Structure 1
Amino acid sequence: MMALQVTRKVDILTPLGALYYNTGRYEEALQVYREAAALQPDSTDIWLALAQVLAMAGRTKEAEKMTLDIISREGSCIECYRLLSAIYSKRGNYTEALDALDRALQQSPSDVTVRAELYFSKGNQLREMNQLDQAFESYKLAVELKPDQSQAWMNMGGIQHIKGDYAAARMYYQRALLLSPGSKLLKENLAKLDRLERRLTGGA
């Protein structure tokens, strides 16, 4: 009977913690998740939620330690590596952030969306490090898995734009625009390309 009461209590606490987290009330979220973790100390999901709240509350050292603790118990925790990557990236430790994403990919996530998101994040990380060719390849892997990732198409266009391959840039921007027809940024980027190409061909 006791076990049932504990489960029922955790079932109430977890969505409450999520509600506080989503409304930016991190202290309350921490209290609720700590209570849930005390009731179910072997629940990876609860500890991970707690680490995410700590990270969002700016307590990244605690969040990092907690996430590494979870990984030491459950090495295949893909979300743990994603969180670590976000923490390292926030600190500007891009190499470590990249390593965490690679370790997540090494777990061979079966969910295509998760794999695509990891390649997309990896592309963003590489772009931050100015490794544009590798970033492009990573975005390409993301859209091969999930062709509806507008942001990945746009970033591929952006990389080609920087490299001066305007025809390829236009193709990727247009692909992104099909998926996000309301994007002001995409329209601005295409307009920039038009101006560049007009200048190159000696037009007005």
Structure 2
Amino acid sequence: MNLNLQYKKTFQQDNKSQNYTQSSQVKNYDSELSKSEENDVDAINKLAENYYNQGNFIEAIALCHRVLINQPNFAPAYKTLGNILQAQNKINAAIRAYSLAIKINPKFVEAIVNLGSMFYKKGQIDEAMITYRKAINLEPDIAAAYWNLGKVLEQEGRFYEAFFFQEKALEIQPDLVKNVQKNNQDSLFKKWHSQ
């Protein structure tokens, strides 16, 4: 199956009731892009990310759709689409979107970490751990993968390993967690030492 057909399947399965390509719902985004950016998939995807960050999912999906119709092998648009679907709690569709991004670019670490998070949300713990480890192997300085793997291991009662991965995450990115999460780390440290 070619990527354009896979995209259509991913896009349509979870949005049957909403047709994002109807002209009544899709505004003219060209006014928000410079003349040189109108056909630039990077610029259009960045605009989609901006809409996603603002919670404007319809607009964000419409822009992802625009990118993927024109360039079906553009992995960042699948990651953006996955983020939008995840925010809408459409986990299976998000998994498909992230998987397509990874199929196009097997070293797309952000999409790999996000895919691991979707496996975790579905309770597929082994798949989540494998996916986070894959991200770490590809990019050893990705703090989010270490942190997320540590959280999964903590949930599984594997406190020694969890502590190691969470400490590594904080070593890479000290501001990764706020004070509330720091308190969680302290409680993990206590659990680890009480074993």
Alignment TM-score > 0.5, same fold: yes
Tell me whether 1:161 sits opposite 2:154 in the alignment: yes
Give the match's secondary structure for 1:137: helix
Aligned to 1:43: 40
| Contact persistence 2:115–2:131 (CA under 8 A) | yes
Task: Indicate the percent of aligned positions where both proteins have the same amino acid.
Answer: 21
Aligned to 2:115: 122
Gaps of 5+ in 1: 1-29
Q: Structure 1 residues 36, 194: closer, same or farther in 2, change over 3 A?
A: closer
Report the structure number with the largest CA radius of gyration: 1
Write the letter of the residue equivalent to 1:43.
D
- Pick the aligned partner of 1:84 from 75, 81, 85: 81
Q: Structure 1 residues 186, 33: closer, same or farther in 2, change over 3 A?
A: same
Give the match's secondary structure for 1:123: helix
Describe how 1:4-153 pairs up with structure 2 within 5 A.
34=31, 36=33, 41-108=38-105, 112=107, 115-153=108-146
Gaps of 5+ in 2: 1-26
Distance 1:145 1:69 in 2: 30
Write the letter of the residue equivalent to 2:140.
P
Distance 1:43 1:149 in 2: 28
Mean CA deviation greater in 95-104 or 144-153: 144-153
What count of residue pairs does the alignment treat as equivalent?
A: 167
Q: Which has the higher contact order (CA 8 A, sep 6+)?
A: 2
Structure ranking higher in helix proportion = 1
Distance 1:97 1:44 in 2: 20
Write the letter of the residue equivalent to 2:187.
K
Write the letter of the residue equivalent to 1:191.
D
Give the match's secondary structure for 2:140: coil
- Give the RMSD, CA atoms, in angstroms: 2.8
Q: Structure 1 residues 126, 185: closer, same or farther in 2, change over 3 A?
A: farther
Q: Structure 1 residues 57, 164: closer, same or farther in 2, change over 3 A?
A: closer
